[in-house]
Structures are given as C-alpha cells and as structure tokens.
Amino acid sequence: MKKGNTYILSLGGSLIVPEEVDHKFLKSFIELIIKRTEQGDQFIIVCGGGGLNRRYNNAAQKIRKMSNEELDWLGIHATRYNAHLVRIMFGKLAYKDIIVNPYEKVKTAKPIIIGAGYEPGWSSDYDAVYLANTYKIKNVANLSNIDYAYDKDPREFPDAKKIKDISWADFRKIVGDKWEPRMSKPFDPIASREAEKLGLEVAIMNGKKLKNLEKYLNGEKFAGTVIK
C-alpha cells in the first residue's frame, strides 16, 4: 500500500454530540476517514465532549457548587465516552485502546488512533497539540461547527470579521490566556500558547463540511482559518 500522510484531527464534541449523538455526521465522517486510510493515510483523532459534557456539567452545578477541577473531570470522561463510540465505529482499523496520555507514543500498525481528555486544565485541543509534538507532526486540524475564527464573537458582534490567516501572537490576543471548563473559543487559549511554542500550524474549519475537509487533506485550498 502507498504510504500516505499522518493527520491529527481535533474532533469537536459539538460535531459528535451537539445535543444527541449525530449519527448521520459520524457515518459520513467515518466513511471519509476509512477511504483515506485505503489510500495510505493515518489519523490520530482526538474527541471532544460536546453536549454530553455540557449536560453533566449543568446538572452537577444544580446539585452543589463545583470546583473547576471537578467540572474538568466530568468533561474529561465525556470526551472518553465519545472517543469510545468513535473508536468502536472504526472497528478493526482503530488501535484497541483510547489514548489519554498525549506524552506516550503507541506502537501500532493500525491506521487510526483515537484520543480523549487527559487531565484537568487541558482541553481536547491541548491534547491534540501535545500529540502532534509526541508524533513529530507539525499540523493540526481543528474540526468544529464554525467555518472560520473571528476577531470577536460573531454571536455578540454583528461586525465581527472572519479570519483566514493569522499569527499565533495575534490570535492569542483574541482568545486570551485562561482556560475554563466548557469555554467556547475557536481554539483553547492554553493549547494556543503551546502550539506557538512548538511552531505548529493549526487549521480551524467546519467539520460538518466534509468536502472541505477533504480539500484540506488533499493539500488544496480550503475554507477555514490558518494559524501559524
């Protein structure tokens, strides 16, 4: 088989479980990834928590006051549950275990590795960044439910401008330096800081638009934000 490329995808929980499990999206996404593996490509896919995380966090806070660490642990296990779903859907093509420690490199001939949350204070974006470092990969694709990152929140500011290309220094001015559980940012601020240190390039795009994702995988012009 022709040897292809290795890609790291940070698969947002908003795509896996917006409110209920989006089985139609997952079916199409999995079909695309399998097709790429048949061409020789390999994938490390890190799953986010999405609506599952949100529901557990909201319920917990209605029972008693929760610390950020406790809320993070709920979110971490939500990412792991989602990751198990995705891993099982790939069947024998996927490595047998969910990777939760991004510092450890697994040895496997399987073309697909599925990852999830590691420890409090880390988002799935942060895990993806450290997996890129562990596997010596310089690009990460962040798949969520937005087409581009913006200079400010477009839900609050109608004049928000979409960003196509931006430096890490300028992007970090937009997202800040602090991580909080269930934070809604185009890319985690702490992950952004580490990505800048490691010299990574991160592409932010709408993961539901699979033809656009395929353009990215082909090295073609795609719709999204590139940070480097």
Closest to 5 in 3D by CA, of 136, 128, 181: 136
Domains of the chain: 6-227 (3.40.1160.10)
Task: Say if pTM beats, i.e. exceeds, 0.85.
Answer: yes
Return the pLDDT at 195.
95
Q: At what angle do helices 68-90 and 23-38 cross, to 10 degrees?
A: 60
Give the end-to-end CA distance of the chain in Å, rounded to a whole number: 32
Residue 85 dihedral angles phi and psi, to the nearest 5°: -60, -50
Return the pLDDT at 48.
94
Return the pLDDT at 135.
95
Closest to 89 in 3D by CA, of 155, 21, 144, 156: 21
CA 84, chain centre distance (Å) = 15
- The answer to whether 142 and 125 have CB atoms below 8 angstroms apart is yes
Return the pLDDT at 1.
43
Kind of pairing, strands 225-227 and 201-206?
antiparallel
Which tokens go with 219? 């090295």
In 4-84, DSSP assigns E strands to 6-11, 42-47
Can you list the residues of the chain whose pLDDT is less than 50?
1
Question: 160-191: per-residue pLDDT in tens?
Answer: 999 999 999 999 998 888 766 566 678 888 89
Residues, the chain: 228
Question: 4-37: per-residue pLDDT in tens?
Answer: 899 999 999 999 999 899 999 999 999 999 999 9
Return the pLDDT at 225.
97
Site of tokens 């601020």: 189
Return the pLDDT at 138.
95
Q: At what angle do helices 189-198 and 168-175 cross, to 10 degrees?
A: 170
